[in-house]
Structure 1
Amino acid sequence: MGTGGDQDHYEIHVLKGPSWAFFATAPDREEAVDAALPMVGRDGVLAVKVVRESFDPVSSSFKSRTVLLEGRQDAISKAKPLPNREDSRFCFKVDDFYSLYGRQQIAILLRQELDRWVITPTELLHVPDHVDRLQATGTVLQHVVQKTAIMQVQQTKRPVTERAKELYDLIGQAERRLFTDKKHKRLPILEKGGTAALLETIDAEQNRLYLLNCAVCGYLAPLKTWRSKLEAMMALLDEPGVTAGPRRFLLQVIDVITGELLSSSVALTELVGASPDLATQLGAVADLYLGRFAAADALPAVRMLNQLVGEGQMISARTALARRVLGEIATTRPLTKGNLAAEIAALGTLYRRFDHVEGTLVQLDEIREAFRGRSERQLGSGVVSDYLAATPSSLDRAEKLLALEANVIGLGNKRRLAGFVGPLLTGPDAQGEVVVHEGHPMDMLRRLVAMQQVVLASQLDDQDKDKLSGRLDQLNLLLFERSGILPRAERSAGGPIDRAITILRLCTAGILTQGQSRERAQRRALALITREGLIAFMTGADEAERTARRAILRNLLQDAGLENVF
């Protein structure tokens, strides 16, 4: 059952006979194309096409444009068009209930009931006892139909009662089909050890997908836990005598049911175990998505699922795992029980697992955008203010924010972070903290160097990097000059080269920032290194000592960034 939503969507149409038939909808072109192309040549599908439907508010109608057409040209040329409908996201025929979009809507509208009964949408559609249970609830089905009808008539201006009646008629047709097949014993019964025989029996049937779904779902019907259902499905795939072709067909059905199963948070918790926080749970889901789930106490069925997903054999299941993570990322549920730093670190760790992996109906750009959105919310002004509230020092605040950078997702969010750090370093408070501080000036100089190194090693925008690095250099230079460290080095004992060596050691001691501060010391050291000074530096030393002194000076110059002096 479809629902209203975005003004544009993409439909997948399939050609099995003389006429095109609606199969499913997708939110974007890439997902629709990826789902449509593998269908050609399978289960009687002669051709597929993807159609973009754009709603025109002026005419209150949808305008169609075909963006993909693939398959047998002779069949395409003779095919009759799809019958006109007001909105093909909705269910207008019984088969629409079985489509990807139809099953997704069933999952959304009946989530609580499905979890309570421990069944998936596909099971509900293919097992008469499950349908009886839904009908027995009375008000649940009535509420779902009313809610769906109201959403669907918002653009068409049709009476709600008229659309509700259509939906009840479609539900009735689906029920009659299922119960008639049951009455006439047309629903195949799958028994343990009989998978190969069943697949052979239905292989030539035109509706073999429907029959296999009924058989597998009927086989799962007596099982009352998600764990036992996954175990049963994985065992079916391992039954002896099932050859490669029939096994692929069986896997297609099991993949869909497993994907629906994994869409339930209740089922996921039962399969991967309870977690202390959401980040840990999503980490386990991400590992399963990547085929890397390695919990020591993992169920054998989960290990087999992990292998199949990792090998790319269960696209629906893998897509459900990705959707599960993205769904949670879109919420405001905290990932951890810690502060903002813990939340941002958890998000960054999770993002790095997904950032390079494709191969599902979820596009990589969609994954990145979901994480960027969560990262943006984490950097809200109020959230950051609360995080810094107990930290009065401007430098301490800047350090705390810079420590977040590695796990902030998206260049725009990194710019936002830099926007919080900049005023903390340029304001009078930071300058006062640098000039007037407890402890030795060397400690503060090293702190400023460490902060600059964090900035330079970051993935901040180059402009932001230059601004923050430059401001830290200014603060470092200010303290370096006021501390009198350089004049004392220039007055140290020994000749000009000895004093130059003392200054060069300042350049390599980790107390001078890159920029003006280090350049000031470099210039003063170079001014002391004259020909006369070098002669005096070497006078009175034997050859071994002169070699050692040259090596010391050369190494210091190199470490201070002045390797081209000699």
Structure 2
Amino acid sequence: MSSQKFSFEVLAQSGTNWTLVNTLRDKEAAIADAKARRTQGRFKAVRVVKTSFDETENIFKETEVFFEGDKRKASKHDDEDAGVACWKPDDFYSITGRDSIRRYLKESLDRWGIIPLELLHHIEHFERLEDTGTIMQGAVQRAAIAQARESGQDLRKRMLEIYNLINAAADILRKDFKKGDLKKLQGDDINGLVDALAGDSRRGYLFQCAMAIELFEIKGVRTKLNRVLSLFARCDRKEAYPFFDMLLAEFFDGMSNLSELFGQEGELGTAVLGLADIAIGKGRTDEGGGEMLPGITQLAERIADGGMNHTRDALLGRVYAALRGKKEMRAGVVDDILFNSEMLDRLRLDDGEYAGGEKLMEVLKERSERLITAFAIERLLGECENPAQRAERLLQIEPGIVGGTNKRTLAGYIKPLIGSADNEIFFVKENGNVFDRLRWLCRAEAAVVDSGFDELNRRHLCDRLDEIAVKILASEKLLARLEGKGDNFVETGLALLRFCASGLLTDGNAKRMAKQRTLVYLKKPGFLSGLMGSYDGEAAMAQGLKEFQGLLAAAKIDAS
């Protein structure tokens, strides 16, 4: 049985966009909040979505439980993307044309284990589609409705135009296969095929026909891709690379499961990083395990050389789709969030820019936003036992949160943990012994300083951590206790100096106070001579003075 936790998100619509305005644990309270916002008249519609996390499947699930406002009658075609309309038979073979074919025939293509290029270049695949007339009719109808809605064209006229285009393309394909003189691949001699087609004005079309014939008896997407990649690895005719680019891009687009590429079932994040490696021309690292398809190394090399752009874009598209999905990239909540920083590191180019540019950042911002909702943060902090553990967990995930707004949201969760009066008692009195308490504050301060928080939030958090450190010093009378140690002022000064250099003081008033008290002793007349006189022999004195200089440097104290 699945173990689930849930919350209720209130969303409001202004214009065409929906905005998350509140998150509550109680359904009725969420509905009441939504109704109140609708009554104010600021929004055209409101809704409440129940968001649950299924810990067994490790995915988020959403269900709409309330809607109020303007909502036109739904149509089964409302969400249909019109795509780019085809106006002549050649349009079917374009990238946008094949994309439309995949969109409208996806279920059938997946069931038959073929890609659009195979459908367009093998008559038996096309006749199979013709024989299942309702499938073609449904696809034509959906495309026509979407395109007519967008263009205002008469629906019946658009349907007739699409049928005429299909018949024209089918006639060309049927004639080519009927003549029986299509070039075919002879064994593995891919270069021979390319040479045989050289000079033919239809060589791109004829090459894909030859590949469709080669793949016709092969079953399974992975096996077909294996064959195409092995031929690609053998091909040294650059004029064929654009043809392979179209073919491989479609295979990568059409793979329903990334394990088909990597031959393994494991963490999704490992497969996604593998795709990213190939997309930027680096091949795949050995961390993923599993048996890699042959030809991937050569493909990565071609991408690195600036070719195979459609394949590169298809690979990046699969990366983006995976990041937008609801499945975890890594096992464990923290590692799943930090996967965002792994992806950034992997896609960082030599010039400091990122492969995918703004698109990558947009996708990672969306994923980060989803991972720091109130519900997600509650799950993240569920096993933490005290404010220190909760704050440390939030600082731990900061590198994986992308986008200034998301960083500010994360900082907003940390502020009350270290800022509330109740939690202050814990940090000042209860978070371990006095040195553990100070050490935790310094560790948290270092994480804030190294973070990507904006300057205002960094300063706010550091100042608050420093304020707690000062209160610990005061409540424990720590400086006074150190001053009480030692038989003379030289030993007292050294004890204070060692404390300043210990890394137990936050950079602020806490360190400033300790330095001031230390300097009182270091600058007393006779301190240096007393220090030198405390050593037995010149060697011990030299070593002692060296250690003293090291303490001054570590504490950043100028005793001159």
Asked whether the two chains share a fold, i.e. TM above 0.5, the reply is yes
Task: Give CA deviations for 1:68-94 in whole Å, capped at 9, x if unaligned.
Answer: xxxxxxxxxxxxxxxxxxx99311111
Find the aligned partners of 2:191 and 2:293 in 1 and give their Cα distance.
25
TM-score normalised by length of structure 2: 0.78
1:131 to 98, 107, 126: 126
1:364 to 331, 335, 357: 357
Find the aligned partners of 1:345 and 1:478 in 2 and give their Cα distance.
34
1:98 to 85, 93, 96: 93
2:277 to 287, 291, 296: 287
SS in 2 for 1:531: coil
Find the aligned partners of 1:234 and 1:134 in 2 and give their Cα distance.
27
Quote the residue 2:559 is aligned against: 565
Q: Contact 2:347/2:354 (CA < 8 Å) preserved in 1?
A: no
Quote the residue 1:264 is aligned against: 254
Find the aligned partners of 2:83 and 2:403 in 1 and give their Cα distance.
36
SS in 2 for 1:188: coil
SS in 2 for 1:154: helix
CA-CA distance at 1:405 after TM superposition: 1.0
Find the aligned partners of 1:269 and 1:133 in 2 and give their Cα distance.
29
Quote the residue 2:428 is aligned against: 435
2:372 to 369, 372, 379: 379
CA-CA distance at 1:396 after TM superposition: 2.1
Quote the residue 1:18 is aligned against: none
Quote the residue 1:173 is aligned against: 168
Q: What letter is aligned with 1:328?
A: A
TM-score normalised by length of structure 1: 0.77
Q: Write out aligned runs for 1:49-448 (5 A).
A: 89-185=84-180, 187-192=182-187, 195-237=190-232, 247-266=237-256, 268-290=258-280, 291-293=282-284, 294=286, 295=289, 297-339=291-333, 341-356=334-349, 363-391=356-384, 393-437=386-430, 439-448=432-441
Q: Contact 1:315/1:361 (CA < 8 Å) preserved in 2?
A: no
SS in 1 for 2:364: helix
Q: Give the number of aligned pairs.
A: 473
Q: Write out aligned runs for 1:379-528 (5 A).
A: 379-391=372-384, 393-437=386-430, 439-528=432-521
Q: Which runs of 5+ in 2 are unaligned?
A: 1-15, 17-81
Moved more, 129-138 or 434-443: 434-443
Find the aligned partners of 1:274 and 1:266 in 2 and give their Cα distance.
14
Shift in alpha-carbon separation, 1:280–1:361, aligned structure 2, 3 A:
closer
Q: Which runs of 5+ in 1 are unaligned?
A: 1-6, 8-86
CA-CA distance at 1:127 after TM superposition: 0.7
Shift in alpha-carbon separation, 1:172–1:89, aligned structure 2, 3 A:
same
Q: Contact 1:288/1:306 (CA < 8 Å) preserved in 2?
A: yes
Shift in alpha-carbon separation, 1:112–1:307, aligned structure 2, 3 A:
farther
Shift in alpha-carbon separation, 1:388–1:542, aligned structure 2, 3 A:
closer
Shift in alpha-carbon separation, 1:117–1:301, aligned structure 2, 3 A:
farther
Find the aligned partners of 2:268 and 2:533 in 1 and give their Cα distance.
71
Q: What letter is aligned with 1:514?
A: D
Identity rate, percent: 28
Shift in alpha-carbon separation, 1:553–1:248, aligned structure 2, 3 A:
closer
Shift in alpha-carbon separation, 1:533–1:196, aligned structure 2, 3 A:
closer
CA-CA distance at 1:235 after TM superposition: 4.2
Q: Contact 1:319/1:361 (CA < 8 Å) preserved in 2?
A: no
Q: Contact 2:399/2:452 (CA < 8 Å) preserved in 1?
A: yes
Find the aligned partners of 2:400 and 2:407 in 1 and give their Cα distance.
9
CA-CA distance at 1:378 after TM superposition: 1.0
Q: What letter is aligned with 2:153?
A: R
SS in 1 for 2:151: coil
CA-CA distance at 1:507 after TM superposition: 1.0
Shift in alpha-carbon separation, 1:176–1:402, aligned structure 2, 3 A:
same
Q: What letter is aligned with 1:490?
A: E
Shift in alpha-carbon separation, 1:117–1:553, aligned structure 2, 3 A:
same
Find the aligned partners of 2:383 and 2:534 in 1 and give their Cα distance.
61
Task: Give CA deviations for 1:478-511 in whole Å, capped at 9, x if unaligned.
Answer: 0011102110111222222221111111112222
Moved more, 129-138 or 158-167: 158-167
Find the aligned partners of 2:204 and 2:431 in 1 and give their Cα distance.
77
Task: Give CA deviations for 1:353-388 in whole Å, capped at 9, x if unaligned.
Answer: 123379x99842212211121112111222113322
SS in 2 for 1:300: coil
RMSD of Structure 2 on Structure 1 (CA): 2.8
SS in 2 for 1:396: helix
CA-CA distance at 1:138 after TM superposition: 1.9
Task: Give CA deviations for 1:15-69 in whole Å, capped at 9, x if unaligned.
Answer: xxxxxxxxxxxxxxxxxxxxxxxxxxxxxxxxxxxxxxxxxxxxxxxxxxxxxxx
CA-CA distance at 1:259 after TM superposition: 1.1
